């Protein structure tokens, strides 16, 4: 089989240029034709001819026009924004970027937990006031961390927690699959896990089952000194219930990289809560993002060359 043409869509991902992605692909696939169109018209022509396309999204019309497209490599882990039926009708395989976020987002989770444990946010406020005053802190060792979602990110979080001497509980759709945590429960047992949780990490996809999963009842089940980190999707948490719980001191704090709504309006009450830390969906940002994406696609291009269709991270 001749070297396939690879079309890289002109879309910025996490603020990084697609040019960097194309360069990473060329490093791994020196004999392949890796092309980024300069204009929308050129991109349309490229989509109509390239057997492999990679980027964030394609409209239904673009998919239907891409008669030669055998593989679309989505550069996000989630593919809910794609019309998968259109890709399937077009005979196009779709892969995602699952696993790319493991190292960077798990570091965000650990940083958020440790910042809370050692009271850094309070320290930073006192530092801004030039105020030398001792304050209480905690230890992570010996606590219980519950991770909801044991995909690539959840597993990476658990791996990085291991040296800290904590007990871990995993919550997943299919508990029979097990996982790296000390204990694995299904979603029907989540309240049992929450009642024993010191630190709650949300790393699950947003689905019908997980939408509003952390509601007033769940927040009441958590101990009042519990801390929550959400790097899943904003809709996994009922925002109004969270605001009420934080205002009533029903949990001790939260680190939110995702919110509902998103972006979070600048007059939203979450901004004014000292016990809440907010980042603008930033946990996934890393200069190594495209390097990891390129590794996945390079593996799949090699399989494509050999007529294989068991692509890594294949969705459909």
- Reference 237, options 266, 252, 258; nearest CA is 258
Residues 6+ apart with CB under 8 A from 29: 3, 6, 298, 301
Residues 6+ apart with CB under 8 A from 68: 48, 49, 50, 51
Q: Rg of the chain's alpha carbons, rounded to an integer? A: 22
Q: Can 189 be counted among the known catalytic residues? A: no
Q: Which of 10, 196, 281, 305 is catalytic?
A: 281
**Rounded to the nearest 5°, which phi and psi values hold at 212?**
70, 20
- Reference 101, options 170, 6, 7, 14; nearest CA is 14
Sheet architecture: strand order including 144-148 = 183-185, 167-171, 144-148, 199-202, 227-230, 253-256, 276-278
Q: Which of 62, 101, 172, 233 is catalytic?
A: 233
Q: Which of 262, 285, 291, 303 is catalytic?
A: 262
Q: Can 233 be counted among the known catalytic residues? A: yes
Q: How many CB atoms lie within 10 A of CB 12?
A: 12
How far apart are the C-alpha atoms of 226 and 245, rounded to whole Å?
Answer: 12
Residues 6+ apart with CB under 8 A from 69: 47, 50, 51, 52, 53, 63, 90, 92
**Active site amino acids:** 233, 262, 281
């Amino acid at each position: 089989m001749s070297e396939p043409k690879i079309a890289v869509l002109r879309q910025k991902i996490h603020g990084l240029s697609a040019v960097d992605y194309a360069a990473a692909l060329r490093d791994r696939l020196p004999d392949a034709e890796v092309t980024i169109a300069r204009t929308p018209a050129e991109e349309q022509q490229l989509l109509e001819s390239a057997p492999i396309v990679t980027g964030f999204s394609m409209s239904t019309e673009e998919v239907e026009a891409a008669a030669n497209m055998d593989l679309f490599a989505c550069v996000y882990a989630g593919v809910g924004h794609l019309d998968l039926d259109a890709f399937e009708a077009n005979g196009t395989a779709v892969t995602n970027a699952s696993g790319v976020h493991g190292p960077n987002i798990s570091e965000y989770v650990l940083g958020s937990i440790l910042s809370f444990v050692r009271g850094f946010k309070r320290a930073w406020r006192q530092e801004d006031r030039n105020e030398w005053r001792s304050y209480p802190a905690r230890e992570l060792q010996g606590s219980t961390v519950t991770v909801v979602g044991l995909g690539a990110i959840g597993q990476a979080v658990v791996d990085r927690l291991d040296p800290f001497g904590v007990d871990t509980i995993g919550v997943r759709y299919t508990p029979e699959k097990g996982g790296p945590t000390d204990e694995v429960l299904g979603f029907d047992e989540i309240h049992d896990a929450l009642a024993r949780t010191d630190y709650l990490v949300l790393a699950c996809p947003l689905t019908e089952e997980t939408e509003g999963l952390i509601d007033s009842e769940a927040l009441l089940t958590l101990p009042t000194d519990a801390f929550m980190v959400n790097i899943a999707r904003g809709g996994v948490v009922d925002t109004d219930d969270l605001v009420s719980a934080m205002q009533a001191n029903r949990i001790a704090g939260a680190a939110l990289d995702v919110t509902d709504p998103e972006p979070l309006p600048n007059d939203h009450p979450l901004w004014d809560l000292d016990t809440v830390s907010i980042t603008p969906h930033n946990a996934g940002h890393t200069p190594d993002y495209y390097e990891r994406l390129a590794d996945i696609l390079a593996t799949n291009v090699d399989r494509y060359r050999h007529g294989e269709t068991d692509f890594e991270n294949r969705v459909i």
